[in-house]
């Protein structure tokens, strides 16, 4: 009975010791080093002693709070970015200068540019005061012609 019992004990010990050994080896560089680094918590500003060079916070609570604060900041920034983007798009769509930046205008755009009705432009084309070039189904008026009216 004795050899069997001893053998069982050794087996048990080895079985239990093996994983513990592995853990110790893995944690050795962090836990068993005698690092005591005086640091200031990045969240609450309290002084604390860090055991690793990468520790930024005095404890889990601060680490979690800082993480949440960072997330919140990211979210606010994302919202701001989205707002800015939306604003820019609106400006583009309602840009009152859109017509002013074109060199060639449709009859409608030409009428918008000088603030008259389309029919006024049509009449001016018929009278020969504006030269319109057929462009597909539309007629295009060169912008300089409209500016010439005022010279």
Give the C-alpha separation, 96 to 136, whole Å. Answer: 26
Residues 58-77, interacting with Zn ion (CB under 5 A): 58, 62
| 118 CB-near residues (< 8 Å, 6+ apart) | 107, 108, 111
Give the C-alpha separation, 5 to 44, whole Å. Answer: 57
Residues 2-41, interacting with Zn ion (CB under 5 A): 41
- Of 35, 40, 44, 63, the one binding Zn ion (CB under 5 A) is 44
Give the C-alpha separation, 73 to 68, whole Å. Answer: 9
Q: Are 93 and 134 in contact (CB under 8 A)?
A: no
Among 1-9, 13-21, 42-50, 74-82, the segment contacting Zn ion (CB under 5 A)? 42-50
Q: How far is the CB of 52 from Zn ion (least distance, A)?
A: 16
Which residue number, 39 or 118, has a Cβ lying nearer to Zn ion?
A: 39
Which residue number, 41 or 140, has a Cβ lying nearer to Zn ion?
A: 41
Q: Which residues bind Zn ion (CB under 5 A)?
A: 41, 43-44, 58, 62
């Amino acid at each position: 009975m004795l050899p069997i019992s001893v053998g069982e004990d050794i087996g048990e010990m080895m079985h239990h010791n093996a994983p513990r050994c592995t853990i110790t080896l893995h944690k050795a560089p962090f836990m068993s080093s005698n690092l005591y680094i005086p640091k200031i918590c990045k969240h609450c500003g309290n002084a604390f002693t860090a055991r690793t060079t990468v520790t930024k916070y005095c404890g889990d609570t601060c680490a979690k709070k800082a993480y949440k604060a960072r997330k919140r900041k990211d979210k606010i920034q994302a919202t701001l970015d989205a707002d800015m983007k939306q604003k820019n798009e609106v400006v583009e769509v309602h840009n009152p200068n859109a017509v002013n930046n074109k060199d060639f205008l449709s009859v409608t755009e030409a009428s918008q540019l000088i603030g008259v009705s389309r029919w006024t432009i049509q009449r001016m084309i018929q009278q020969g005061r504006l030269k319109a070039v057929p462009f597909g189904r539309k007629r295009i008026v060169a912008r300089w012609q409209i500016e010439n009216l005022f010279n």
